[in-house]
Structure 1
Amino acid sequence: MFSKGKKKQFTKIGSLILSSVLAVSILPASALGDGGAVGEEAAVEVQAAYTSKALSLSPGSDVSQLNFAWYSSVDPGAAVVQMAKTADLVNGTDFPAADKIMTFTGTTSAAVTGYNSNKVTATGLEPNTQYAYRFGDGTDGNWSAASNYKTPNPDSYTFMYVGDPQIGASGNATTDGAGWKRTMQLAKQNFPNIDFVMSGGDQVDTGTSEAQYDLYLAPDQLKNIPVATTVGNHDTNINYQYHYNVPNLTTLGGQKVGTDIVNGDYSYTYGDALYMVLNSNSSSTADHAVFMRQAVADHPDTKWRFVTLHHDIYGAGSAHSQSDSLDRRLYLQPVIDELDIDLVFTGHDHSYARSYPLYNSNVQTQFKDGEGNDINPTGTSYFTANSASGSKYYDLAPVAEYYSEARIQHRKTSFSTVTVTPTTFTYDTYEIETDDSLTKIDSYKVLKKPEDAKVYAKAEDKSSTYYAIKNANAVKDLDVTFKFDSTKAKFKAAALVTPDTGSFVVDTATAGEVNIKATLATPIHTVDYADVIKLTFEAPTGQKSAVTNVELTRSDLTTLNKHKAKVSTIEANNAPITVTNQPNVKVYAKMSTIIAELSKKAEFYLALSNTDDVNALDVTFKYDSTKFKLLTPELIGQDDNIQAFEDKDGTVRFLAGFTKPITAEGYTDVVKLTLEPKNIFNRFLQADIELEKVTTASKGINTEVLNNTEEKAASILIRTFKDVVDVNEDTKADVGDISFATQFYRLTSADSGWAGAKRADVVEDNVIDTADLTLIMNHIIN
């Protein structure tokens, strides 16, 4: 094309006059990609032409942007891209009026001899929208032909992953270019919804060969699909940066050309995924670490984190996987683990491989769904692509690597499709057969979504709330917060449902709120809901029993080997609880010692305190059924006898309903329990009773409440008269016992010799006096 109406000052070259804006390379016509060039021998005045070639599209910083780069004749007036919605084109082909066109101006700079490198970024693009674009110097008549570009749906999209087109590696660049073109044609034909291409590097074999770049950029599909390229070890020349306009380019990981640092690391986002692209030719651990940490810090909440680099640090090829790639593994793997990278895409070894999820170079056991897909993996998977053009293949290493889940070399051109959704990542790899059909050789799918969490109450435990999670793969850390109405409920306790030796911290500093942080010694693996925490509540002091709610307001979970907590999807955030005053219970005997000849029965009392309209009781206790018989328990202070009990070999369950509900702060006797000895000994007989469990329910609440047991056991010593008066313990009652008691006459429990004398206090009034001597004498006489 020739520019219209442009007048430039003429410059004399020898005896010839040529336009000073003649922008035609002195390279051969074939290198320009047009029909020819104007030579210096021309003896006519020629108006300068604007030429362009080698267009490449790259992703922008996010899906609302698109980056352009192309070669033009030298010193263009500007670098300009215009875009319009396809729906606004006139007659479906012509660009519309100016008010429907978006115009973007970029930069232009000298490139290889005879060319300028032009770079423009289009911004403000709407998602899932079809656009037309053209590029040039902004002058009418110098626009390229219009091409189409469809912006992706940022929530769900597909990209194509390729490795090492390396045009020229076979020794025949034309053949390699044809193979690459065939791959792109078949990929787009079979997967028309590909939104962009990710390349693992080595686009060309010779980094200074513009002819190889021309062949690499030749497929028509590249006019419509951006490519996120990677610097391979064959791409390290400045030509690479001339050809690609990558987003967020840094000097980190770059190489020095003159005074400039070029071909550095860069990043971009597509929807909820962060893509970081490393120039792994640089062995600067510090550079790559700084770059990745900053990229993650700039996008801390992206759900997916991907890294692309050329060298296959966990590959399977015999050429590189155990040499230069292994060296890079040592410095890149710790940073990849640190930043919770989900997947790493590599090339370099011209053979296909996929690792197990790895952490610290160790294979991680994964939690899988019913179809064998990994759920929330706890490590990083590494993919190595085979050749996308067929220019060169390497054999697999003779011994399979411990980390390789798939390793394939059929010496067939291959590519992969990757589909990313908010909850899934699907990676399918295809080989191209001789008849242009595709064979899927590997597939990998990840389900990645927040663990589901809920709070709920169990019918049999209405005073407690349970926190449960599902869809959890090795959850190790919990940070969970609950809220409740502190005027109606009082937090009592929290516990892990499954005891664990890890740390467990409960924070109740904020009224009406409970925060629990736990680091578990045994990570939780579960597909279905599993109870993790039990929270127990009671009624506030002095308050009536009530029904209220506990709300789950925060559920942040961190899985094993991950450093960033994920916010759970809360399926049920409220749980009803019934809080009651929790009564206190005790069992006691009003007489600790009785004399069998006067009363053969041991009487125990079950008493309750802190009661609020308690009208039902369920008590289980034990006694020695080989020595005693239980008589029917008696309710105290009740007009109606509403009760039932069962005695199985000394284990007794007693149920009672109170027609007169009990409300009292202090202890109130509720049940009288009587044990009758089966035999009376000459020596003493011990009657023991022990509470195993006591629950009550209250009027209007009707919910079982476990009681606080303050005194769990009680004991009564049953003694015969003979045993009582044998104070000198010689097995008979005689004057020796009178002598022993007289010896300590008037001694009290406050005196120092009481321990040895108290056997003579047979009436148990803490003094040895006439009453004791009289009882001893009467028994001897009778």
Structure 2
Amino acid sequence: MSLLSVSALLAALVAAPIPAHAEPAHASSTQAEANEESAITDTVLQVGADESSRKLSWMSENSGGGEVRWAKTSELNGSALPDDAESAETTESGLSTDLKRHFNHASMTELEPNTEYSYQVGSEKDGFSDVAQFDTGVAGDDSEFLVFGDPQIGAGGQPDDATGWDRTLNSALETGQDPRFFYSLGDQVNSAGDQGQYEQYLAPEATRTVPQATTIGNHDVASKSYEQHFNRPNVSGDHGGSGAITSGGDYWFIDSGVLFININSNDANTDEHAEFIDEVVAEHGDQARWTVLGFHHSIYSTATHNDDLEVKRLREAIPPVAARNDIDLVVSGHDHIYNRTFLMDAEGKKVASSDAGFEQQKEEGQTMYLTLTSSSGSKFYDYVPGLDWEAKSVHNDVPAFTRVRVSDESLRATTYEVPAEGGTQAASEAIDDVEISRQSDEEPSPDH
């Protein structure tokens, strides 16, 4: 890892998070309205611990006094939030790593299902952001989420990368049917502390209207900027290797009866990750109909990173943990190529009955691994043929995303490419489709 600048170190030390109370309250009628002079930037809507909450992050010019305000859209006064809108103060805030702004984290709680909400963030000093809307959707029925690999804004030239990311995200949202959230698998930016690259990643309107979850990539980890921009739920202080000037932390959440576990694969302590996964599944596994594990460094890619030392260590450590916790699907990025494995066992070997076809019936302890390619087109890696785990690999050097549809009976992952020549609203083209179901006739009965 390269040495960090003195200014980045100073920023990390000065920007120690400032905890604040965050109990919902009624907003004051004297609070500032959103206006053109608002000093709020980089607002991000994110998943909460479950469907009844959403987390937020934003940047402000001034410190202190930050809050989120929200209400049902049906209760708006024209385009403005009502005087009795709910509000919650920031849970943490501090000086950003560029020493120019302040980061803010807050949460919206006690949200009702199948309801459209409106919200804004800000303070008396900075003004408030424009009112934005999101829909909580219907949890627990058939649902879906979107998955993206390595936007890595800045790796291929910021304007083109940002345009590609915006095009792929918009195409995915057009393709999906009211996705509950989208999941970015790391390397959101190319340079960990580059605020301009974060601004480009967060530029699409969907980052404020569709919740997202993120993973820490190797290009994100070397700065506190990742932790400042993303307010993740249930982050462990003991697992995932957050440092004084680096981002980290394993975390989990439940959405629509799916348990999502995310680990920071930049942290080489695989025993800690295993302990985290074991503990989360033991405590929350009975609430889920499916379990999905996400981390950045793909252990079963078909490009050149598959032979890296840190990837080999993960490839030895993850399969037995996935098997004993009956992880159904693992999603990763890092290698800028698309690959789907066969169903794999606890030893990291192909299940004999598994093939490259659409229907894959799994027994307990069997797991499928997906590697997602670049979602922006910033760069791609060369294909490595002949690997034992490859069921389907696509290496067309075209940005792509995966749409995962969830039901009690199956997880269906359909992957689409988004050609650059399609413009800002490019139509997606399916390149792979797989459905995972359970061999047992016994259906899960999650408590959700």
TM-score between both structures, scaled by the size of structure 1: 0.49
Question: Out of 92, 103, 109, which is 2:94 matched to?
Answer: 109
Shift of 1:446: 1.7
- Aligned 1:700-715 pairs, distance under 5 A: none
Q: Does 1:425 align with 2:415?
A: no
The Cα RMSD (Å) is 2.2
Residue 447 of structure 1: aligned partner? 437
Q: Does 1:125 align with 2:115?
A: no
Secondary structure in 1 matching 2:145: strand
Contact 2:182/2:211 (<8 A) preserved: yes
Partner Cα separation in structure 2 for residue 567 and residue 244 of structure 1: 32
User: What are the superposed Cα offsets for residues 183-213 of structure 1, whole Å, 9 maximum, x if unpaired?
Assistant: 1122222325122111110000000100100
Q: Does 1:217 align with 2:207?
A: no
Residue 59 of structure 1: aligned partner? 47
Secondary structure in 1 matching 2:296: coil
Contact 1:450/1:567 (<8 A) preserved: no
Q: Does 1:180 align with 2:138?
A: no
Partner Cα separation in structure 1 for residue 381 and residue 126 of structure 2: 48
Comparing 371-380 and 336-345, the one that deviates more: 371-380
Question: Out of 51, 55, 67, which is 1:80 matched to?
Answer: 67
Residue 387 of structure 2: aligned partner? 401
- Aligned 1:600-611 pairs, distance under 5 A: none
User: What are the superposed Cα offsets for residues 626-660 of structure 1, whole Å, 9 maximum, x if unpaired?
Assistant: xxxxxxxxxxxxxxxxxxxxxxxxxxxxxxxxxxx
Question: Out of 363, 369, 372, which is 1:382 matched to?
Answer: 369
Shift of 1:97: 3.6
Structure 2 segments unaligned to the other structure (5+ residues): 1-36
Q: Does 1:69 align with 2:53?
A: no
Shift of 1:79: 2.1
- Aligned 1:599-638 pairs, distance under 5 A: none
Q: Aligned pair in 2 of structure 1 residues 361, 60: CA closer, same or farther (>3 Å)?
A: same
Contact 1:357/1:377 (<8 A) preserved: no
More strand by share: 1
Shift of 1:400: 2.2
Residue 378 of structure 2: aligned partner? 391
Partner Cα separation in structure 2 for residue 345 and residue 426 of structure 1: 13
Shift of 1:408: 0.8
Amino acid at match of 2:292: F
Q: Share of identical aligned residues, percent?
A: 29
Partner Cα separation in structure 2 for residue 325 and residue 417 of structure 1: 25
- Aligned 1:166-205 pairs, distance under 5 A: 166-170=152-156, 172-205=157-190
User: What are the superposed Cα offsets for residues 728-750 of structure 1, whole Å, 9 maximum, x if unpaired?
Assistant: xxxxxxxxxxxxxxxxxxxxxxx
Residue 334 of structure 1: aligned partner? 320
Partner Cα separation in structure 1 for residue 317 and residue 349 of structure 2: 16
Partner Cα separation in structure 1 for residue 235 and residue 339 of structure 2: 29
Amino acid at match of 1:62: D
Shift of 1:314: 1.1
Question: Out of 233, 239, 246, which is 2:232 matched to?
Answer: 246
Shift of 1:321: 4.8
Partner Cα separation in structure 2 for residue 318 and residue 104 of structure 1: 47
Shift of 1:69: 0.4
Partner Cα separation in structure 1 for residue 353 and residue 47 of structure 2: 33
Residue 271 of structure 2: aligned partner? 286
Contact 1:314/1:321 (<8 A) preserved: no
Residue 750 of structure 1: aligned partner? none
Secondary structure in 1 matching 2:168: helix
Contact 1:255/1:263 (<8 A) preserved: yes
Shift of 1:410: 0.3
Q: Aligned pair in 2 of structure 1 residues 196, 567: CA closer, same or farther (>3 Å)?
A: closer
Partner Cα separation in structure 2 for residue 338 and residue 180 of structure 1: 36
Residue 764 of structure 1: aligned partner? none
Contact 2:341/2:392 (<8 A) preserved: yes
* Higher relative contact order structure (alpha carbons within 8 Å, sequence separation ≥ 6): 2
Q: Aligned pair in 2 of structure 1 residues 329, 446: CA closer, same or farther (>3 Å)?
A: same
Q: Does 1:364 align with 2:364?
A: no
Contact 2:363/2:439 (<8 A) preserved: no
Secondary structure in 1 matching 2:297: coil
Shift of 1:152: 2.7
Q: Does 1:299 align with 2:287?
A: no
- Aligned 1:679-758 pairs, distance under 5 A: none
Displacement over 6 Å in runs of 4+: none
Question: Out of 308, 332, 336, which is 2:294 matched to?
Answer: 308
Q: Aligned pair in 2 of structure 1 residues 102, 250: CA closer, same or farther (>3 Å)?
A: same
Contact 1:163/1:415 (<8 A) preserved: yes
Amino acid at match of 2:260: Y
How many residues matched?
397
Residue 89 of structure 1: aligned partner? 76
Secondary structure in 2 matching 1:395: coil
Question: Out of 143, 163, 181, which is 2:149 matched to?
Answer: 163
Amino acid at match of 2:46: S
User: What are the superposed Cα offsets for residues 394-450 of structure 1, whole Å, 9 maximum, x if unpaired?
Assistant: 0111x3211111111001111111111222211000011223222100001122486
Partner Cα separation in structure 2 for residue 365 and residue 438 of structure 1: 33
Residue 438 of structure 1: aligned partner? 428
Partner Cα separation in structure 2 for residue 256 and residue 210 of structure 1: 20
Shift of 1:131: 0.7
Secondary structure in 2 matching 1:328: helix
Residue 257 of structure 1: aligned partner? 244
Partner Cα separation in structure 2 for residue 192 and residue 420 of structure 1: 12
Contact 2:268/2:310 (<8 A) preserved: no
Contact 1:274/1:304 (<8 A) preserved: yes
Shift of 1:324: 3.3
Shift of 1:386: 0.5
Amino acid at match of 1:144: S
Partner Cα separation in structure 2 for residue 307 and residue 160 of structure 1: 14
Secondary structure in 1 matching 2:305: coil
Partner Cα separation in structure 2 for residue 324 and residue 407 of structure 1: 22
Shift of 1:50: 5.9
Partner Cα separation in structure 1 for residue 407 and residue 263 of structure 2: 24
Partner Cα separation in structure 2 for residue 354 and residue 61 of structure 1: 29
Shift of 1:377: 3.9
User: What are the superposed Cα offsets for residues 538-569 of structure 1, whole Å, 9 maximum, x if unpaired?
Assistant: xxxxxxxxxxxxxxxxxxxxxxxxxxxx679x
Q: Does 1:146 align with 2:131?
A: yes
User: What are the superposed Cα offsets for residues 46-90 of structure 1, whole Å, 9 maximum, x if unpaired?
Assistant: xxx8611111121100011100001111313x2211111111112
Partner Cα separation in structure 2 for residue 192 and residue 221 of structure 1: 15
Partner Cα separation in structure 1 for residue 96 and residue 308 of structure 2: 37
Q: Aligned pair in 2 of structure 1 residues 205, 158: CA closer, same or farther (>3 Å)?
A: same
Partner Cα separation in structure 2 for residue 388 and residue 131 of structure 1: 29
Partner Cα separation in structure 2 for residue 402 and residue 83 of structure 1: 51
Contact 1:321/1:349 (<8 A) preserved: no
The higher radius of gyration belongs to: 1
Contact 1:313/1:321 (<8 A) preserved: no
Contact 2:144/2:177 (<8 A) preserved: no
Contact 1:310/1:346 (<8 A) preserved: yes
Contact 1:127/1:152 (<8 A) preserved: yes
Amino acid at match of 1:185: N
Partner Cα separation in structure 2 for residue 96 and residue 373 of structure 1: 50
User: What are the superposed Cα offsets for residues 683-703 of structure 1, whole Å, 9 maximum, x if unpaired?
Assistant: xxxxxxxxxxxxxxxxxxxxx
Amino acid at match of 1:445: E
Q: Aligned pair in 2 of structure 1 residues 120, 334: CA closer, same or farther (>3 Å)?
A: same
